[in-house]
Chains A and B, each alone.
Chain A
Amino acid sequence: MDIEQYLKTVTEQIRCDKAKDMVARELMDHINDQKEVYIEEGIVEEEAYKKAVNEMGDPVEVGIALDRIHRPKMDVTMLILVLILSLVGTTLQYLMITNMGNGFYQYNLHTQIIYVIVGFLTMMLFCFIDYTSIGLYGKLGAVAMILLLLVSATNGVLIDGQKGYLRFLGTTISLHQLVFLYVPLFGGILYSYKNKGKIGFFKSCLWLGIPVLLTFKILELSLSISLFLIMSLQMLFVTKRGWFSEFKKAKALIITIIMGLPIAIITYLAFYGATYQKARLLSVINTKSEFSYLLNLLRKLLFSSNLIGKSTKGIEASVYGLPSDYIVTYIFSYYGIVAAIILLSVLGVFIYKVIINSTRQKNQLGLAIGIGCSLALTIQIILYVLVNLTILPTIAVYLPLFSYGGTGTIVTYALIGILMSIYRYQNVLARNPIIVRKRNVSKESSI
């Protein structure tokens, strides 16, 4: 049997096409090593090849054993966790709608259920699609998102006087939510600048800066802060893994920028901020100001909550109406501290799961995209909880898998779908896939 025939027989046993190249290369290297040793021992080349191939053992047996490992796999734990969270989230929407009445909580359960179903299907679709296409079309997608942001500034629709909504085929898309899909695209862009040193680092910074600046100018400050935090932590993570190792100051630079952020925000607000922004920022400490109305209401609800069950004081307070995006506060008040702690723990498990999954990823493109998706979900959850507990001022927040909304729900499921796709193909793709515009996108590369 010659080497081609051997490798052909091995790879024929492997059902997953994407894994074939990676396996064939490693085995070929091994045969070549063995052959060279035989040649050194004085065997002629042709004989040495044959002998080396024979040493490998039965190709069918090897192929079957490898097929068992290199198979796309479903992240069942994640799927179950998402199903549970979706169910709890939808049930909570139902309870809030029935308990609080149409006067204060004007949402429609049926619409939300449709969003969840569409979201779930989107998640499964993203899970089965090979995510390396994000590496291929990262910049294209990023440019498209930037254009959408620019279009919304001039041709968008206003909702509650706010910019950042687009009408498309009869539905309204919220860019406040859609913009989070920039994060996985940014992961693909980071991968394209891997090992490109200083130039790669600063080009990545540019791709990070543009959407942050645009969301700040067109949408809102708090959203651009979240986006900035997510993407700079994503960049810090890959920098720590040595992606820009030729540029030694990279790590220190990102840390300085992240540390400098609060100072930058406060300075900006002090000099250029609108009065309401300043007041809102201070409302966390200054409970007397008129902007503290909502915050005081929330605190009243939180502090009057019982260990278990409905709080009577809370109900009194909620006569004034609890805004839609205070699910955690709502649970404290309506179901007690124990229920709220259970919810927070489940969210904690979810965060732990997505972070562990993505940091353990060996595929480098998957690492950059996955850590971004995980951070996008995690930072949104953390900010939401902090605002609900009145530790942060009352800014617009969104709780993935729980909050009401079309774009938000679908974007959340899409991010989870990408994470599931990364998990799905982790034993199939090479560590450093070369992204090329061909049918066969992934080939093993050398570092």
Chain B
Amino acid sequence: MMAIDKALLSGSTSMLVLKLLEEKDLYGYEMIESLRTRSNNVFELKAGTLYPLLHSLEDKGFLISYEKEISGKSRKYYSITKSGIKHLKQKKEEWNAYSKAVVGVLSCVMEGM
């Protein structure tokens, strides 16, 4: 497993969470599991980071939460809103521009070497 710098991850976590929720409604634990398997264990999101993030996204109106009972257990599910989808699109564009720029700079340096 490759260790990833925390600072690199923190800015994009909200984007990743919104992306997961764009596909279907999930509860907190599922999100961490899903992120871990999809990223081949690169993204080890701590619950302590996830819940404050989810609550602040809900406060901003990007998510709504609701309770649903699954096999006798009541779960707090999160669902993306219209403005959340819009925000995700914007974040994705920013990310693409950023990563393209990073790749561009890196490849220039490589060629220069």
Contact = CB atoms under 8 A, between A and B. Distances in A.
Contacts of A23: 51
A55 B67 contact: no
Where chain B touches its partner, the secondary structure class is mixed
Contacts of B104: none
B66 A61 contact: no
Given A56-B46, A362-B65, A447-B68, A62 B55 contact: no
Contacts of A69: 52, 55-56, 59
| Nearest 3 Cβ contacts at the A-B interface | A57-B48, A65-B52, A446-B74
A47 interface: no
B66 A30 contact: no
B29 A362 contact: no
A98 B107 CA distance: 77
Nearest to A66: B52
B89 interface: no
Contact of B76 (A26, A57, A65): A26
Interface string B22-52: 0000011100000000000000001111011
12 contacts: A29-B28, A29-B73, A29-B75, A30-B47, A57-B48, A62-B48, A66-B51, A68-B56, A69-B56, A362-B64, A427-B55, A446-B69
A355 interface: no
A34 B69 CA distance: 18
Given A29-B76, A447-B66, A447-B68, A55 B52 contact: no
- Candidate in A65, A360, A427 with the most chain B CB atoms within 10 angstroms: A65
Nearest to B60: A69
Contacts of A446: 67, 69, 74
Interface in A43-62: 55-59, 61-62
Interface residues of A, number: 29
A57 B69 contact: no
Nearest to B61: A360
Given A69-B56, A362-B58, A27 B67 contact: no
- Candidate in B29, B47, B48, B64 with the most chain A CB atoms within 10 angstroms: B48
Given A26-B76, A34-B29, A58-B48, A70 B55 contact: yes
A4 B97 CA distance: 45
Nearest to A60: B48
A444 interface: yes
Given A29-B75, A62-B51, 5 more contacts: A30-B51, A57-B47, A66-B55, A362-B65, A447-B68
Interface string A434-447: 00000000001111
A431 interface: yes
Contacts of B73: 29
A30 B30 CA distance: 9
A316 interface: no
A246 interface: no
- Candidate in A23, A69, A360, A427 with the most chain B CB atoms within 10 angstroms: A69
A437 B75 CA distance: 26
A17 interface: no
Nearest to B49: A57
Contacts of A61: 48
Nearest to B28: A30
Nearest to A73: B59
A27 B54 CA distance: 12
A194 B105 CA distance: 59
